Structure 1
Amino acid sequence: MATVAERLGVEPARLWLGSVLALLAALIGGSFVFPRVVYDGFIWHYFWGPVQADANAAVCAVREGGATRYLYDAAACSAAAEPVAYPGYTLVSEVGYVVILLIALAGVVLLLQRLGIGTDRALFVSLLPFVFFGGALRVVEDVTDAAAAGDTLITYPLNTLLISPVIYFTVFAVTLLAVLGSVALERRRIVDQYTRPLVTSGSVVLAATLAFLLWSAVAPDGPGTFHPQVLVVILVGATAATGLVWWVLERFAPSVNAGTGRIGAVVIWGHAIDGVANVVGLDWMVALGAGANLVPKHPVNRLIVDVTASTLPASVLALTGDTWPFLVVKLVAATLVVWLFDEQIFEESPQYTILLLVAILAVGLGPGTRDMLRATFGV
């Protein structure tokens, strides 16, 4: 963006802001001029509709005559006329969120440059608690859904703040406030480094969220249960898988992780958590005595499960389950991403590189933390 800004003779921050405002104007204007096509058929169908359906615990949501109707029967959803939105993601929405993520990263980079922070790898470590916090906070909404009727602490529309992908904006807002507050403390010389209050604030909100989840599991009338064996299996499995991959890289291809160093190991570990949590949650909950298996929500998860189930013999699936290829895909993809980040990238744009690595970690560790804690607390 800096190169484009130089060619146009515009400050990068103004170019970014102008581009975002132009995009918003196009979407908002299109929603007023062509509401059925732009809003109902695109924005609602792929982005807001799934959130509404999830927030109301509906099988699907249907947009009719400018109003939203919720259906609680799968057959009725199948028979409904489009646009019909189901909880979860679609390929269209996932591409859209990637675009939003890249735009947001560019804006945050400009903010960090203005604040003069984020040039070293300490920022990555400081933001780790917030990544865990995002996954744990999503489980809070799962707990409220599992509560008895009338006992739900967070109801619609407030619960939309805790549902993907809106929760990413919620966590982003909390993190941004923590960063700005930490930088303010450093500049007022109350602390020596902004990273200390930043990691502390992240740890506090994470601890508070985990405390609520634990209370929901152990309270007499709580909606959840507690399965510590699931948590242990996932953490040990992810750590073992990461250790194996890292040993292979160090032994046979050290150039792959030469640029990222230990950050690369954390990225791979985060995606291993996601992979192992899916394997355990979708295939081995019953075997671990932790209740019924979970159901995949992401299109990629469902595709891998469907392909595996239709390819391997039933006798093999009985022993291995049909989700383990997802773990392999996650480990390979994370390793390829780590390989792309060489030392030159860190030197040329350290702030953007660090933030991009945090984002890559978050898309693995965030959902992985949610799946791990859902399975652990039986929601």
Structure 2
Amino acid sequence: MGLQEFFQKYFIDPIKYNQGYNPVNTLTYAVILGIAVLLLYRFLKRLNVRVDERFFVALMPYIFLGPLMRAITDIGMLPRTYLTVSPGAYFVIAAFAIAALLMVWRHVGPGEKLYPLYRDVGFLLVGGLLFILVINLDKVNFRWEYFKYFIPSFLAAEFFIWLLSKRFKLVRNNSVLFYTHFYDATTTFVGIQFFGYWEQHVLARTLINLTGTAAVMYLIKLAVLIPVVWILDVEMKDEDPDLINFVKLAMFILGFGPGTRNLLITLMGVGT
């Protein structure tokens, strides 16, 4: 198999034919993500931008951009290309977020004015996608019954995390991550269990097929989150706190983004 055929089989066709992820592209994207996190962290340090609560709040509109763009792409409001579905869509959103940050930073510098102005630019971008959605609402077939399954499942999942946070300090100190990833697990569980969707990620798809239920997503989340946050909080406790915060921010995005995408495409009636 030549290089072109290899790239076509493992990277192009899965997007073109909506085949989901495979071991090759999963590993490749994971390596790219790790490198990107480190480069972006160094980029923020050079700009003297602290990765704190102010930055997290300012970044939220950009985090919402990805799942919103994916949802309106799946409906047909945007063309389905490598740049409008994952993982390409996340590179596009990251490029917008970095460009906006640079623009605002050059205008006001790294001071207090940076964060609200950066947030507002993000809201403008979200507003643009929402405008596209509003003028194409005739293409949307909302499934309001979705909430009949999502709300009780979500409440039960989050209550379980609340119980864990009362007992375990590691969960309590990282409760936002656990709540967010159980939100993601819930959207996956509801979409697969009640609306006929399928899991795109190869390991999760395999475990769902083996167990016969998408509820295994909750166990997968715990199996991944607990060792990762333990490493960050215990083994890396003497590292730069901004680096730890940025890694946790990336983890939050990996839960909130896919979870919100799942919620939107199921709620908006995108076909399985």
Task: Bin the TM-score by the shorter chain.
Answer: 0.7 to 0.9
What amino acid is aligned across from residue 220 of structure 2 in structure 1?
A: V
Q: 1:236 to 1:172 in 2, by over 3 A?
A: farther
Amino acid at match of 1:39: Q
CA deviation string 1:262-314 (max 9, x = no partner): xx2222222112211111111123xxxxxxx22222212321221112xxxxx
Structure whose alpha-carbon radius of gyration is higher: 1
What's the offset of the Cα at 1:173? 0.6
Structure 2 residue aligned with 1:270 = 180
Distance 1:111 1:202, change over 3 A: same
Root-mean-square deviation over aligned CA pairs: 2.7
> In the alignment, residue 252 of structure 1 is paired with which amino acid?
R
1:101 deviates by 0.8
Match of 1:252 among 157, 161, 167: 167
Any conservation in 1 of the 2:204–2:220 contact (CA below 8 Å)? no
Which residue identity does 1:177 align to in structure 2?
A: A
Residue deviations 1:3-57, cap 9 Å, x none?
A: xxxxxxxxxxxxxxxxxxxxxxxxxxxxxxxxx533322x332223322334xxx
Classify the secondary structure of the residue corresponding to 1:234. Answer: helix
Return the offset for 1:376: 0.4
Q: 1:323 aligns with which of 203, 207, 214?
A: 214
Check 1:351–1:45 CA distance in 2 against 1; reply closer, same or farther (3 A cut).
farther
- 2:199 is the counterpart of 1:296: yes
Match of 2:208 in 1: 305
Give the counterpart letter for 2:67 in structure 1: G
* Match of residue 57 from structure 2: 125
- Take 2:238 and 2:56, find their aligned partners in 1: how far apart are those partners? 16
Sequence identity percentage: 24
Q: Is the 8 A contact 2:146 2:266 kept in 1?
A: yes
CA distance in 2, matches of 1:161, 1:52: 12
- Give the number of the structure with larger relative contact order, counting CA–CA contacts within 8 Å between residues 6 or more apart: 2
Partner Cα distance (2:63, 2:155) in 1: 17
Match of 1:168 among 71, 90, 93: 90
Equivalent in the alignment of 1:202: 122
Corresponding residue of 1:53: 17
Moved over 4 A (4+): 343-347
Q: Any conservation in 2 of the 1:182–1:197 contact (CA below 8 Å)?
A: yes
Higher-helix-fraction structure: 2
Unpaired segments of 5 or more residues in structure 1? Answer: 1-35, 55-86, 145-152, 286-292, 310-321
Superposed counterparts of 1:87-98, under 5 Å: 87-98=19-30
How many residues are paired up? 270
What's the TM-score, normalizing by structure 2? 0.86
| Change in CA separation of 1:155 and 1:125 when aligned onto 2, cut-off 3 Å | closer
Deviation, 1:214, is 5.3
Which residue number corresponds to residue 334 of structure 1? 225
Ranges in structure 2 where 5+ consecutive residues have no aligned partner = none
**CA separation in 1, counterparts of 2:131 and 2:79?**
20
Q: Distance in 2 between matches of 1:344 and 1:306?
A: 35
